Structure 1
Amino acid sequence: MATVSRPSSLAARKMRIAISPRLRAINFFMRIRLACGNFRPIRSVTGFARVFPMHKSALLFPMAALLGLAGCDWTDPSQWGAMQRFREPFSRTEKLAGGGRVMLETFNGPIEIRGWDREEASVEAVKYASRQEVLDRMEVDVVADGGSLRVRVRQPENNCECGASLTVRVPRKVVLEEARTSNGAIVLESLEGSGKATTSNGKIQAWDLSGEWALRTSNGSVELDKAGGSVSARTSNGRVRVGGLRGRADVETTNGQIDAEIAEPQEGAPLVFRTSNGSISVKLNRWARNPLRIQTSNASITLALPEGVNADIRAATSNGRVTSDYEVTARDFGKNRLEGRLGGGGERIELTTSNGPIRIVRR
């Protein structure tokens, strides 16, 4: 008679331990899907569990797939399902002189701040929650004295299934101490001065800025166009795109590509671009003796330079080639490395990657 072996209690326990985190993860993403509405289960939870290999990295693709099925844009509150069940608008207008200081803070929602030609600030907010009693306890605090404006949306409790969006108009010339949110996008437009924008799980978009700006997010892209001044942009797991920059740049991401056009670099100011597992493409429209550093891994680098560059250059990769449209007086060269002078030499250009080519091309 044939015998059927049964797993030992220890083996069964190990199997339950291995599967349990996957069930919890799947259940979490199913709850996300339910929050977004229109949920239609495709197969049972145990059916999903059976196809999971027993190692942690295998969670990444099913999780991403479930998020994709969810069809949720987490920077768009209108898609937050139950969290949008109860809503309440808020508006306020306050005097604010040009050059004033501004601080904005909310949570689980986007922030838009735009400049205009008025000596006043317009604040519009929309509060939303899954329960009326939670909505009633949410507060939008506005403090203004003519020279400063502070707006803060207070969270009534942790994990409240609630949030708020902010739409603010201010004089063009302001000091934005910080615009801060979480799980929401930030939009900046037509601002002169300096500022900082911080979010997580949301993108940052900025147009027509001047002055010094620091943009910070995670799990979201950064897009910047027509900026005059200095820009520091940081994200992770997201792309960075910079267009028409007139000033200094310090850009960093991980697991995302960088595309940058420097229209009018600040004379002698450093230009730094760093990522990993993503390509970098940088175009300089004018040479202004800028030290330039470009670094990535497992991806390509393309640097477009104008005529008349005088710089010391070093380019190195592994498992890739280094090519240049310009003549380089080489001190050291090979298939995957190049070190020497462009023109008469000068400021240092350093290009580094691995498992990808490096191209130096004419603009």
Structure 2
Amino acid sequence: MNRIIAFLLVIAAVVVPACPPAAAQSGNIREAVSGAVRSAVNSAVNAMVDSSVQLATNLALENALSAALAAAVPPVEINFDDAPDAACPDHSETNFGDDLRTYSAVEQHTLPVTIGSVFVHGAHNGGVSVRGWDRNEIQVTACKYAGAENDAEGRQRLADIHINISGGDISTSGPDQNGDRHWTVHFLVRAPSSVALRLEAYNGPMSVRETGSDVEANTVNGPLTLKLATGNVQATTRNGPLTVSDCSGKITASAQNGPLTVSLNDRQWRGAGLEASTHNGPLTVRVPEGYLSGVDVDAGGHSPFSCSLRDCNSVQSSKPWDRTTHVHLGSGNTAVHVSTVNGPVHIGSSME
């Protein structure tokens, strides 16, 4: 077993640093590295250990590899909360490296609500932020960023970034210099609750806030935040953190290889309920004392468990060899189900 651990460390030390910063411009590099490492390690594991140790080793590999790849290919660091409504994030938060200066421009479009739905295809390394409002129109703000060595080149690259809108379908296209994508776009969308929203982002953050719209949101290699969402929401993220805070309605949220944080700050869940899960990621649940809706928390795969609430005396897993832990919190009908497999669990007060 020690030889296997040493082998994993050698691969992590050699392969992951070999990914250049430009890897953030191509998901193919991530996939190639991941596939090569998995193939090599699984071959060694199959040859060296029995099935029970192999299973444990593979689970450790999943967690270690996901963390290493996420560190090697970081998403663009954009905090939409720092910018006022309809204002683009400061261009200093978007860095293209290679000693390039960052240039920015803003493009705004207004769409009629009669289109019924909007599908935002996020730009590579670009973010998507959605907020609801009560106006009878849809506002799309495209925050364009480009890296260049001088002003003339910067202006030209910005001019070459195009926002493509067909009905409710929104996407981008732009310059590609020998495979180097020194540009991106962050979308800010304001829409009334009557408009359905479909959103996707790759290597960039996504935020869905203060909306009663039906939403389908998907991210890869970037954080996804749901806050004060009250409609029918389906959200998934892979290799990124997922946060569900102060929501209601019908929320279904899942994370793969990323942490899940659920914060319940009202007195009870209002709406059909919340189903939230993560696989290979830690789970944090914050619940007010005296919560009036039932909350089920499940952990599988020998997940470490901690809880600072009095209600945690109801832990049902009493045998140390049990693979699952179940906790029921709150009172009334169960409206919230949260779970993790192969990740530590912490349950605390929403005041923490």
Shorter-chain TM-score range: 0.5 to 0.7
TM-score normalized by the length of structure 1: 0.56
Larger mean CA deviation between 269-278 and 105-114 belongs to 269-278
1:28 paired residue among 19, 23, 26: 19
TM-superposed CA distance for 1:87, in Å, is: 4.0
TM-superposed CA distance for 1:104, in Å, is: 0.8
TM-superposed CA distance for 1:164, in Å, is: 2.0
TM-score normalized by the length of structure 2: 0.58
Going from structure 1 to structure 2, the CA distance change for 1:304 and 1:24 (only over 3 Å counts) comes to closer
Cross-structure match for 1:191: 211
Going from structure 1 to structure 2, the CA distance change for 1:317 and 1:134 (only over 3 Å counts) comes to farther
Decide whether the 8 Å contact of 1:138 with 1:153 is kept in 2. Answer: yes
Decide whether the 8 Å contact of 1:181 with 1:198 is kept in 2. Answer: yes
Going from structure 1 to structure 2, the CA distance change for 1:23 and 1:31 (only over 3 Å counts) comes to farther
Aligned residue for 2:249, secondary structure, equals: strand
Aligned residue for 1:75, secondary structure, equals: coil
- 2: CA distance, partners of 1:221 / 1:161: 25
1:143 paired residue among 166, 171, 190: 166
Cross-structure match for 2:57: none
Going from structure 1 to structure 2, the CA distance change for 1:231 and 1:270 (only over 3 Å counts) comes to closer
- 1: CA distance, partners of 2:271 / 2:132: 28
1:153 paired residue among 172, 181, 184: 172
Decide whether the 8 Å contact of 2:280 with 2:340 is kept in 1. Answer: no
Q: Which has the higher strand share?
A: 1
| C-alpha RMSD over aligned residues | 5.2
- 2: CA distance, partners of 1:185 / 1:111: 6
Q: Which has the higher helix share?
A: 2
Larger mean CA deviation between 159-168 and 351-360 belongs to 351-360
- 1: CA distance, partners of 2:166 / 2:111: 11
AA paired with 1:264?
Answer: Q
Going from structure 1 to structure 2, the CA distance change for 1:167 and 1:355 (only over 3 Å counts) comes to closer
- 2: CA distance, partners of 1:353 / 1:103: 31
Going from structure 1 to structure 2, the CA distance change for 1:151 and 1:293 (only over 3 Å counts) comes to same
Cross-structure match for 1:295: 299
Cross-structure match for 1:177: 197
Cross-structure match for 1:74: 76
- 1: CA distance, partners of 2:339 / 2:143: 46
Runs (5+) with no aligned partner, structure 1? 1-17, 34-54, 245-260, 307-312, 322-335
Aligned residue for 1:80, secondary structure, equals: coil
Cross-structure match for 1:283: 287
Going from structure 1 to structure 2, the CA distance change for 1:354 and 1:29 (only over 3 Å counts) comes to closer
**CA deviation map 1:268-292 (0-9, x unaligned):** 857565555635546375445x583
Going from structure 1 to structure 2, the CA distance change for 1:279 and 1:351 (only over 3 Å counts) comes to closer
AA paired with 2:316?
Answer: A
Going from structure 1 to structure 2, the CA distance change for 1:95 and 1:356 (only over 3 Å counts) comes to closer
Decide whether the 8 Å contact of 2:256 with 2:281 is kept in 1. Answer: no
The total of aligned residue pairs comes to: 277
Cross-structure match for 1:97: 113
Aligned residue for 1:315, secondary structure, equals: coil
Decide whether the 8 Å contact of 1:320 with 1:357 is kept in 2. Answer: no
Q: Taking every aligned residue pair, what percent have the same amino acid on both sides?
A: 12
- 1: CA distance, partners of 2:201 / 2:345: 38
Going from structure 1 to structure 2, the CA distance change for 1:287 and 1:355 (only over 3 Å counts) comes to same
1:123 paired residue among 130, 141, 146: 141
Name the structure, 1 or 2, with higher relative contact order (CA <8 Å, separation 6+). Answer: 2
- 1: CA distance, partners of 2:126 / 2:326: 48
TM-superposed CA distance for 1:126, in Å, is: 0.4
Aligned residue for 1:181, secondary structure, equals: strand
Going from structure 1 to structure 2, the CA distance change for 1:155 and 1:357 (only over 3 Å counts) comes to closer
- 2: CA distance, partners of 1:219 / 1:124: 25
